[in-house]
Structure 1
Amino acid sequence: MPFVRGNQAVVHEIHGARFASYVRPATGSRDLAAWRGEIPAGTVAPEHVISAEEVFYVLSGRIRLTIDGETAELDAGDAAVAPADATLAVSNPTGEPAHFWVTTQVGLSAVLPDGSTITPPWAN
């Protein structure tokens, strides 16, 4: 199944953000997962350590991305790469929602500040 239609995206919500999952094993991908993220205005997601590299591309709005202590505000058209085992934090410092595209490898997990591990369904 090489084509994924918009109405086939599965939406998940966690920590105030929404993730629309398009590419994952259930849609035919063996190695990659990709989703569209939406962070409402003023949302600050918890810092977490990622198990695999993630590539971010901002579609609209602005996000603040911190990777291993280095912070940048990214606007539509900007991209970033977070390496495996990086500490990552995402927030939206503006009054408007932000949308971005993320690609990673299937099997991504993340360790939260309390030590718990999540395996997000949009990446598995």
Structure 2
Amino acid sequence: MPVITRDQARHTVTPAGAMTTLASPTLGNAASALWRVRMAPHAAGPEHRIDVEQIWTVLDGGAEIALGTEKVTLTPGDTAVLPADVPRQITAGQWGLTAVAVAPAGARAFRAGEAQGVVPPWIA
């Protein structure tokens, strides 16, 4: 049974926030990726889509998720199941955002207008 200690977690910083990989195919040989997201107040990720379903649970703060034509606000304890291939943008609330997210291994992200996606480093 692989155990990933906190000092083995992988940290990735982007303009929108910081992701900490807790488990993934390259970290614990997991079939899914699990990561923690931290975003500053009102920080916004880029508009993009993911080719697989993702599940996000808010631990602290909050977020607004624009998913296609729908917008939802999440607060601590709320979980959103984001379907594959729907354009999305996540914006942290006024207190910032701390969340955990999970996706299957190999998930690819596509920015608006991009035909070729990438596997984000926190999912690899």
Q: Are the equivalent residues in 2 in contact too, given 1:15–1:46 (CA < 8 A)? A: no
Question: Offset of 1:114 from its aligned partner?
Answer: 4.5
List runs of 5+ in structure 1 lacking aligned partners.
none
Aligned-pair identity in percent equals 25
Q: Secondary structure at the match of 1:104?
A: strand
Q: Are the equivalent residues in 2 in contact too, given 1:50–1:109 (CA < 8 A)? A: yes
* Alignment correspondent of 1:123: 123
**Aligned counterparts of 2:27 and 2:90: Cα–Cα separation in 1:** 26
Deviations 1:17-64 (A, max 9, x none): 110001111222342001000111111111101111100000100111
With 108-117 and 48-57 compared, the bigger mean Cα shift is at 108-117
* Alignment correspondent of 1:68: 68
Q: Are the equivalent residues in 2 in contact too, given 1:52–1:105 (CA < 8 A)? A: yes
* Alignment correspondent of 1:41: 41
How many positions carry a matched residue from both structures? 123
Return the letter of the residue paired with 1:60.
Answer: D
Question: Offset of 1:117 from its aligned partner?
Answer: 2.5
**Aligned counterparts of 1:4 and 1:30: Cα–Cα separation in 2:** 11
**Superposed counterparts of 1:3-82, under 5 Å:** 3-82=3-82
With 62-71 and 49-58 compared, the bigger mean Cα shift is at 62-71
List runs of 5+ in structure 2 lacking aligned partners.
none
**Superposed counterparts of 1:78-93, under 5 Å:** 78-93=78-93
With 50-59 and 109-118 compared, the bigger mean Cα shift is at 109-118
Deviations 1:80-117 (A, max 9, x none): 001111211100131x2210000000101111125263
Structure with bigger helix share is 1
TM-score computed with the length of structure 2 as normaliser: 0.91
